[in-house]
Structure 1
Amino acid sequence: MSPVVVSLESVSAAHGTRTLLDGVGLGLDIGERVGVVGRNGAGKSTLLNIISGTHPPDSGRVVHAGGTRVGALSQADSLPGGTVRSAVVGDVPDHVWAADPRQRAVLTGLGLIDRLDEETGLMSGGERRRVALARLLVQELDLLILDEPTNHLDVEGVAWLARHLATRRCALIVATHDRWFLDEVCDQVWEVVDGRVDAYEGGYSAYVLARAERSRRADATEARRQNLLRKELAWLRRGPPARTSKPRFRIDAANALIADEPPARDSLELRTFAASRLGKDVYDVEDVDLTVGDRTLLRDVTWRLGPGDRIGLVGVNGAGKTSLLRLLIGTLEPGAGRVRRGASVRPAILSQEVTELPGDLRALEAVEQVARILAVERGRERTAGQMLEQFGLPSSRQWTRVRDLSGGERRRLQLLRLLMGRPNVLLLDEPTNDLDTDTLTALEDLLDSWPGTLVVVSHDRYFLERTCDVVWALLGDERIRMLPGGVEEYLARRAAAGGSPGSGTAGSGASTASGGSGRSAGSGGSSGSGGSGGGAGGPAGPGSAAGSGQASGTDARPALSSGELRAARKELARLERTLEKLGRRESELHKALAEAATDHERILTLDAELRALTSEKDQTEDQWLTLASKIE
């Protein structure tokens, strides 16, 4: 088979009057792993459908290499009737498929090995999603296309899927909002924006830095254009010279983007401010038993939440995470014990459903129905319309009726209405569902300055580590425990207990992972303080080398010999000296341009020299970056 698995040539596609793809050209080789990101409605699913051959483009063509075996998982699962066995392995006898380690691993990893005789028609949407994923992963494929594969998977299931995909040699295209998953699995990112597809090397962390760097370069280009305009004005008006500056080379510029950036949030200040709004007591769960139906979820549990606590809550499906939120808010009552709530507590809960939205109202009206103004920071306010813009609903969509919005847009609207109500306690149940990466970033930015108590139930590891200070876990053993090591500790405990990744149920072996007493109590009403050392993701955050899934993997670059390494370092030093000389010459040219403001011919000559020097500098920067990446 050709190294190129699939290529797109001048592909265009539209939905109604909106152009989603405009003359896109792409290629994917064997073994490449691409993550697709972009705002909801930008055209990610359209791109995937065109690549898989499900939908033809409006113009252009898609070429698959001869004999390419393509498998695709869409967001709308279409399973045949019958049992899980028939859906996944068909009529193959058990002794045949069971002898295949890949098929056994897939069924075990997705928690289906003990459910082969269940009817898919009686399963929930999340269970059917896992069956559809298993049906795809048991096949031998050359190109695997996954649209939001982590939906309905818990933290363990997402971790298992990342490990599984790392063992496959096929080309992979995955559209997902799970940024940890993107970092762990992908070596390229395609961003669908304004009808085009921009390609970036690396996982999500590298994409964020590269996008910021592209923005800086665009700003620099615009600054140079503005500089020439100012020179023209200076020639006409004999005004003061314009000023411009540019860092030595791109890596310095990329570091400068984050060098003076303060921490995402000042936890101590937020906690102090939250205490003034909430008082000392928020929630005290004391000696509580909680039973739902015929299942006991909690037994003799004590748990305290203080002002400003930012808690991530993880656990196997069915362990009682959502029930615990309902217990806090008062829609569930304990069978024994009590839940004491602070007198000034004003909670709001984001459920997994969006049925409470007023379908007849327009989007802006639905937000203004709650409040017209939101204080995003002390001294700063934003209108409902501005908040809708921040959450990805531009003015052109703000007068659309709620019932006509997409699922992702309704989810954003639901979340915004919640925040506009000015609660001081936020309980978020899977808040990342149906949100794109840009909206998640906007939400995280808003939560950074939000002073109150926050409890987040989510399978999105990146979001948990980004927004929370400590992780607590429900391990299916009727207890709740704080995990200073965050999600990594949770996965280690589950593995030690023999938990089945992606099983979706509270495994019977979970009780052996407790490692603690029967009572989990916070200290002094502030559970967050007990885990401040480890944080939600341990000592390293999601953007650091230790926290990045890509940085933690095995380095696949070939090792340089000692002689090659010396030569590379010598060449690197030479390139740095060249860049310094070019930088000095660039400064001299800018100064000369300012001095020649009245000499039009001199300006043209100097400008031509500056353009040539800028091109040479860019090429040298590329050489420096390429060489530096080899010897890091």
Structure 2
Amino acid sequence: MNLVNLESVSHAYGPKPLLTDVSLGIEAGERIGVVGRNGGGKTTLLSVIAAEVRPDSGRVTHTRGLRVGVLAQHDALDPATPIGETVLGGRAEHEWAGDQGIRDILGNLIGDLDLDAKVGDLSGGERRRTALARLLIDEHDLIMLDEPTNHLDIEAIAWLAGHLAGRKSALVVVTHDRWFLDAVSTRTWEVVDGRVERYEGGYAAYVLAKAERARIAQAAEERRQNLMRKEIAWLRRGPPARTSKPKFRIEAAQALIADEPPARENVELLRFAAARLGKTVYDLEGVTLHAGGPGNGPLVLDDCTWQFGPGDRIGLIGVNGSGKSSVLRLLAESIRPDSGRLVKGRTVRLAHLSQELAELDPTRRVLETVEEIRKYVQVGKKEWSASQLLERLGFKGEAQWKVVGDLSGGERRRLQLLRLLMDDPNVLLLDEPTNDLDIETLNELEDLLDGWPGTLVLVSHDRYFLERVTDKSVALLGDGRLSFLPGGVEEYLARRAEGTAVTARNMGNPSTPSSQPQAAQTAQTAQAVSAGMSAKEERELRKELNRLERQLDKLGEQETKLHAAMADAASDYAKLGSLDGQLRDVLTQKDTVEAEWLELADRLGD
């Protein structure tokens, strides 16, 4: 049964048509992800479906008594009302406190907020979470969400995806978070040129289906051109040839990627990176850091030693407020550690994209603002002009001549990022670079970074982007250490849920349980015994654990030596390839040993 029907709907703002003769329906229980370029009509489509905007033409019908819940990009919360009253309405405390579902929503979205505080005292992100909690607590037949993952960390996004997938209500969600789309959507709508193209499945299925449509369309066009050439040849030659060979076959979408090389040529990039950076990029030696300055605010790092190498591509993960941005500012030398030392390589040429928008001359044109940095830049093997890079990141045609003062926040952020890339850095520190970027622009940015040789440290709550452009993950878990995550974001979420982590004093060397306080060791032994394991079995397992730790240390040393050897062999491509093969073997062994270590640690309760 359709909850909502659109029949021949058209709508425009000014001279720009956003929806043109659109007809579609939303079924009960259906979960739809909406994608498309910024400004292409996604939010307008949601407003029309929710009957908040009346279309210029066509008809929108709702089933009788339809309960619709909408999360818009801008809330209308009363600043004078307490948070608890805003979210819970007139529910008595015993009513909501005894409801597990409501407690789950409150705990995961606004558990850090005082329910008696006024809405007007909240930050933009806190208001957003409050509005989302208020919406989810109520029952709806159709939920419509416009960018719901904004201001949520990776953990909260994962919770929200699971919550929405478990609800019975239908869902329409606009988001640029591709992991989230895959997690919640059963269908994907793409708003493009006034049309709504429909695809089965989430983001991954949408990409494959769209590529297959494009391949078939290209084959059809090539076939048409071929027939035209034959027709012209017949007109010139006389009688047509009686035989012809078929040139095209309809194949699965996977054929498109059968011969596609890896997204990044790691050996090639490492060679470039080593040549530009040498052996040392950043070394943290016994660093202690508080977010608010020496001794002030939350503890971010505690006597931490950590090394960055040339070509490292690292994702830094943690909840909001864990200190990720502080680590980037430390590396950018805009703040100093409480104690310890930051050693910076002599050849480091840094670019730091912070969450704050840099001041730009509002009277300058977009292209002028980029060209004042540099008119051409080399990215990998290819040289790009300022205009070409602007076009790749969404500034096409006349948009390059817009005045900076007329740009939106998302456009300014893209412009800031481009200016950084044009300065030809060899180290990039990116703090939430995907904010306000649509999926098409994200694809272009990922492609640019694939060919960029250098060291990258990325902070992002966009899980898809994080996993797409980085090779290693570490997390800040509030214990003053960096936790090395062989399993990436999935491992981070699991360890957050379990309260466990493999910490790292060094990127390649997980710290051992022996570095933990004796009281913790004793408690873990007691836990193993209480789980039904004899003292002898526990001793044997711990002996094996220690052996694996020593093996990990040796493999970590081998990895460090191989990285150094590859840096020395930057100009010898043949030797570099051989060293890369050895490095892959070492990393494979490390993965195997780490998996064994984790399994034993889990059995022991470590």
Q: Under a length normalisation based on structure 1, what TM-score does the superposition of the two structures give?
A: 0.78
* Cα distance between partner residues in 1 of 2:230 and 2:424: 50
Task: Tell me the residue number matched to 1:366.
Answer: 369
Are the counterparts in 2 of residues 469 and 535 from structure 1 also a CA contact under 8 Å? no
Quickly say closer, same or farther: Cα 1:16–1:354, change in 2 above 3 A.
farther
CA-CA distance at 1:114 after TM superposition:
5.7
Are the counterparts in 2 of residues 484 and 534 from structure 1 also a CA contact under 8 Å? no
CA-CA distance at 1:52 after TM superposition:
1.3
Amino acid at match of 1:220: A
Are the counterparts in 2 of residues 12 and 21 from structure 1 also a CA contact under 8 Å? yes
Task: Tell me the residue number matched to 2:414.
Answer: 412
Does 2:313 correspond to 1:315? no
SS in 1 for 2:397: coil
Task: Tell me the residue number matched to 1:46.
Answer: 44
Residues 25-57 of structure 1 deviation map (CA, whole Å, 9 limit, x = unaligned): 111100111100011111111111111122211
Selected match of 1:62 from 49, 60, 63: 60
Are the counterparts in 2 of residues 465 and 535 from structure 1 also a CA contact under 8 Å? no
SS in 1 for 2:399: coil
Task: Tell me the residue number matched to 1:162.
Answer: 161
Are the counterparts in 1 of residues 29 and 169 from structure 2 also a CA contact under 8 Å? yes
Amino acid at match of 2:89: G
Are the counterparts in 1 of residues 110 and 133 from structure 2 also a CA contact under 8 Å? no
Matched length: 518
Are the counterparts in 2 of residues 6 and 64 from structure 1 also a CA contact under 8 Å? yes
* Cα distance between partner residues in 2 of 1:223 and 1:169: 46
Task: Tell me the residue number matched to 1:18.
Answer: 16
Task: Tell me the residue number matched to 1:205.
Answer: 204
Tell which deviates more after alignment, 384-393 or 191-200: 384-393
SS in 1 for 2:64: coil
SS in 2 for 1:189: strand
* Cα distance between partner residues in 2 of 1:51 and 1:535: 52
Are the counterparts in 1 of residues 380 and 453 from structure 2 also a CA contact under 8 Å? no
Task: Tell me the residue number matched to 2:447.
Answer: 445
CA-CA distance at 1:69 after TM superposition:
0.3
* Cα distance between partner residues in 2 of 1:383 and 1:196: 33
CA-CA distance at 1:77 after TM superposition:
2.1
* Cα distance between partner residues in 2 of 1:425 and 1:535: 27
Query: Larger RCO: Structure 1 or Structure 2 (Cα < 8 Å, ≥ 6 residues apart)?
Result: 1
Quickly say closer, same or farther: Cα 1:183–1:363, change in 2 above 3 A.
same
Task: Tell me the residue number matched to 2:602.
Answer: none
SS in 2 for 1:330: coil
SS in 2 for 1:31: coil
Matches within 5 A, 1:87-102: 87-102=86-101
Quickly say closer, same or farther: Cα 1:357–1:515, change in 2 above 3 A.
farther
Question: CA-atom RMSD, angstroms?
Answer: 2.6
Amino acid at match of 2:426: N
Gaps of 5+ in 2: 502-510, 518-551, 565-579, 595-606
Task: Tell me the residue number matched to 2:6.
Answer: 8
Does 2:352 correspond to 1:345? no
SS in 1 for 2:128: helix
Selected match of 2:429 from 418, 427, 430: 427
Are the counterparts in 2 of residues 475 and 514 from structure 1 also a CA contact under 8 Å? no
* Cα distance between partner residues in 1 of 2:159 and 2:303: 32
Amino acid at match of 2:360: L
* Cα distance between partner residues in 2 of 1:8 and 1:515: 60
SS in 2 for 1:55: coil
Task: Tell me the residue number matched to 1:255.
Answer: 254
Task: Tell me the residue number matched to 1:178.
Answer: 177
Residues 271-321 of structure 1 deviation map (CA, whole Å, 9 limit, x = unaligned): 122011000000001101112332222110111101000000001111110
Matches within 5 A, 1:171-320: 171-238=170-237, 245-247=247-249, 249-251=250-252, 254-293=253-292, 294-295=296-297, 296-320=299-323
Are the counterparts in 2 of residues 73 and 146 from structure 1 also a CA contact under 8 Å? yes
Task: Tell me the residue number matched to 1:357.
Answer: 360
Are the counterparts in 2 of residues 33 and 173 from structure 1 also a CA contact under 8 Å? yes
Quickly say closer, same or farther: Cα 1:371–1:516, change in 2 above 3 A.
farther
Quickly say closer, same or farther: Cα 1:514–1:439, change in 2 above 3 A.
farther
Task: Tell me the residue number matched to 2:70.
Answer: 72
* Cα distance between partner residues in 2 of 1:179 and 1:489: 19
Task: Tell me the residue number matched to 1:30.
Answer: 28
Task: Tell me the residue number matched to 1:586.
Answer: none
Residues 144-188 of structure 1 deviation map (CA, whole Å, 9 limit, x = unaligned): 000110011001000000010011011100111110111111011
Task: Tell me the residue number matched to 2:604.
Answer: none
